[in-house]
Amino acid sequence: MRSRRFIRKIRIGAHSASDDRPKIIKRTIIGVVAVTLMIVLTVLLGNHLKNKADSVGTLPPITDEITVGNNNGNDTEPNTPQKEYSPADVPVIRGEYVTLSSAAGIDWNTRAATLREQGTQAVSLVLYYGEGVVNYDSFVAQQMGYQSESNAKTNLDTATAALNAAEIHSAGCFYATFHKKIELSVISVYRTYEAALIAEACNSDFSDVTVFGFGCDELGPYFAEQLFEQVREFAPDAKLGIAIDSDVLELMECSMLFGNYAAVADYLALDLSSCGTVEELTQAINAVQTLINKYNVRIMISTGLAGAEDALSELGIVNWQKIPD
């Protein structure tokens, strides 16, 4: 992947070097905050997991080593490592969308039993809508002051325990927004927070988590790699996927983008939830059928698209997940 360098213009005469000191100080402070946040979240999650493990007698492995980024501290140059992608190991599901939290609360034992009776083998659950909107009772969000400890949202451990008992696959959806911040130094702060949220779900025994929101340019896989690297520091066994936006269909050559995302993810998904008709859905799949087969891609479809399941079946697609409009 081609590296990018951010070149700064220096004007001589009109302004002295001292004019840049406030900016330098600001960026230094933000950088320190990012590293501090990484350490704090590692300690918080470590202690939280230890307390959970003490109650059952086992402790998931937690690393003491703190590593931010993989570019020797330089977050401006993409350096995505190659990762072995195995289509045979991709989770193949038929994920029905269900709400994760409600104001009235949810009895997950009853819900899981009902879903099982209906023949549901996998459920699609939105964990995070982006921009701070966490859709579950989050220890991480509460410790960081982003969520009240008094809330009616679902406890993930309770939900996954019920789903696992019913042998139902839990497929999380996470809409990342950290990379949309303007300042590069701010990006690292929000990336650490979102990584901790994803890890929280993975450590609560979610079967997998698909991350949405990355673009179709060369920086998308770079941002994804950075995020996943931090997630795996918190949750080494996390099963992480990337939902490639439907804008990829507009590219003249999209195989490279699929390959770059496959280099950092455990599985790939294609977000076709924007397709408003079965005809649009069929055309979109036909356009990249070869890549879908190659990577065993999970197709994301809208809950509101009538006839979508039949259309997918006719196309031979058996790996899909419904997400809300």
Lowest mean pLDDT among 56-65, 160-169, 186-195, 212-221: 56-65
Domain assignment of residue 5, yes or no: no
Range of the domain at 131: 17-323
Inter-residue contact 323 to 273 (CB < 8 Å): yes
pLDDT at 25 over 50: no
pLDDT digits (tens, 9 = 90+) for 230-260: 999 999 999 999 999 999 999 988 999 999 9
Domain assignment of residue 6, yes or no: no
pLDDT at 159 over 90: yes
Domain assignment of residue 9, yes or no: no
Domain assignment of residue 299, yes or no: yes
CATH of the domain at 51: 3.20.20.380
Domain assignment of residue 273, yes or no: yes
Domain assignment of residue 8, yes or no: no
pLDDT at 2 over 70: no
Q: Which residue has the higher pLDDT, 321 or 186?
A: 321
Residue 90: which pLDDT band, with cuts at 50, 70 and 90? very high
Percentage with pLDDT > 70 across the chain: 74
Average pLDDT, the chain: 83
Residue 183: predicted pLDDT: 84
Residue 325: which pLDDT band, with cuts at 50, 70 and 90? confident
| Sole residue written with tokens 């966490």 | 134
The first and second tokens of residue 113, run together, are 């039993």
For 309, other C-beta atoms within 10 Å of its C-beta total 15
- Bridge-based pairing of strands 298-302 and 208-212 is unpaired
Domain assignment of residue 4, yes or no: no
Residue 35: which pLDDT band, with cuts at 50, 70 and 90? low
Residue 276: predicted pLDDT: 96
- The residues near 9 (Cβ < 8 Å, ≥ 6 apart) are none
Q: Which residue has the higher pLDDT, 158 or 33?
A: 158
Residue 252: predicted pLDDT: 86
Overall number of domains in the chain? 1
Residue 36: predicted pLDDT: 55
Lowest mean pLDDT among 1-5, 97-101, 125-129, 162-166: 1-5
Inter-residue contact 257 to 251 (CB < 8 Å): yes
pLDDT at 55 over 60: no
Segment 29-37 shows an average pLDDT of 50
pLDDT at 47 over 70: no
Inter-residue contact 307 to 281 (CB < 8 Å): no
